[in-house]
Structure 1
Amino acid sequence: MMLQTRYFNDYAIDEKRVSQGRTITETDIVLHAGQTGDFFPHHMNEEWCKTQPFKKRIAHGTLIFSIAIGLTATVINEASMTYGYNRLRFILPVFIGDTIYTVLTIAAKEDYKKPGYGLITEKVEVYNQNEKLVMACEHLLLVKKCNI
């Protein structure tokens, strides 16, 4: 992890960043179920899942979201903070043993209602080891403007 100061004007539309990969494990799913209380059989019951369309357990969407965003947390920017997330979609299931990675693309920049700040929209795309899109959302980043 590194410290970096980037102001609103330092971001460029279509700029991309790709994370490292992370393999999803059974332990991830069990811990997430315990933390959230989501013990639905889609995540926890291998035998029941054999009777379902995917034939095996799937990772919680919220687990994939958490890990995917965590993979992007490699730089601390003192001039920005997360404002929120929009348009979260779970496109394909993620299974035990799948490896995911995250691609961030700067999609939009706009002035913010509070003077001295701008809003950056990052397109967040999460892919599996087969380069199939499994999750997507928009990350809103509130960023200070440079005082030049």
Structure 2
Amino acid sequence: MPAYVELEPGRFREDVGLRYEDYVIGHVFEHRPGRTITATDNIWSSLLCLNQHPLHIDEVYASTTPFKKLLVSSLVTFGIVNGMTVRTISQQAVANLGWDKVRLSAPVFVGDTLYAETTILAKRPSGSRPGEGIVTVHTVGRNQDGVPVIEFDRTLMATMRGPARPDQPEH
């Protein structure tokens, strides 16, 4: 998996993300750095998604619940953990085809630091799109104590390696 492509002698471009040939069933990728969740992350993202449940945005209300403090919205948790995988797993993808088996297994609070890892589950060449393949992965997000907080499967359309195409934007 090359990290850089030599454009000319002594000049390189960062080459980020897996292509179809790089996905090996059973391989596990740890995504770093971790991401510490802030109150701003939680409140702004909750409101942006129109999730106005007071458990996510009202500290006084949240203090009266069994959690005793603001709970990070599950959409925020999902977005951050999924986002952590993009650089490696889908930077070179053509499209996300879907997410399945999303499970939220522990609460996330402001101040928690999340880490993610992705296991390659399956891959096959596309039957209708030459030069592309279908890949399915399983991602687990864990907090700073190693406790799983979210997991999901994702299926994406990945590009295959081929001749350079000057008409394509560089990632």
- TM category (shorter chain) comes to 0.7 to 0.9
Q: Indicate if the aligned counterparts of 1:3 and 1:77 stay in contact, CA closer than 8 A.
A: no
Shift in CA distance, 49/107, structure 1 to aligned 2, threshold 3 Å: same
Q: Which residue type is aligned with residue 40 of structure 1?
A: H
The partner residue of 1:41 within 23, 35, 54 is 54
Which structure 1 residue ranges, 5 or more long, are not aligned?
none
Q: C-alpha separation between the residues in 1 aligned to 2:119 and 2:60?
A: 39
TM-score (norm 1): 0.86
Q: Report SS of the residue matched to 1:12.
A: coil
| Residue 32 of structure 1: aligned partner | 45
| Residue 127 of structure 1: aligned partner | 142
Moved more, 35-44 or 5-14: 5-14
Shift in CA distance, 101/30, structure 1 to aligned 2, threshold 3 Å: same
Report the Cα offset of residue 142 of structure 1.
1.1
| Residue 12 of structure 1: aligned partner | 24
| Residue 118 of structure 1: aligned partner | 133
Structure (1 or 2) with the larger CA radius of gyration: 2
- Counterpart mapping for 1:40-119 below 5 A: 40-75=53-88, 77-78=91-92, 80-116=94-130, 117-119=132-134
Q: Which residue type is aligned with residue 70 of structure 1?
A: G
Q: Report SS of the residue matched to 2:44.
A: helix
Moved more, 58-67 or 109-118: 109-118
Which structure 2 residue ranges, 5 or more long, are not aligned?
4-13, 163-171
Report the aligned-residue RMSD.
2.4
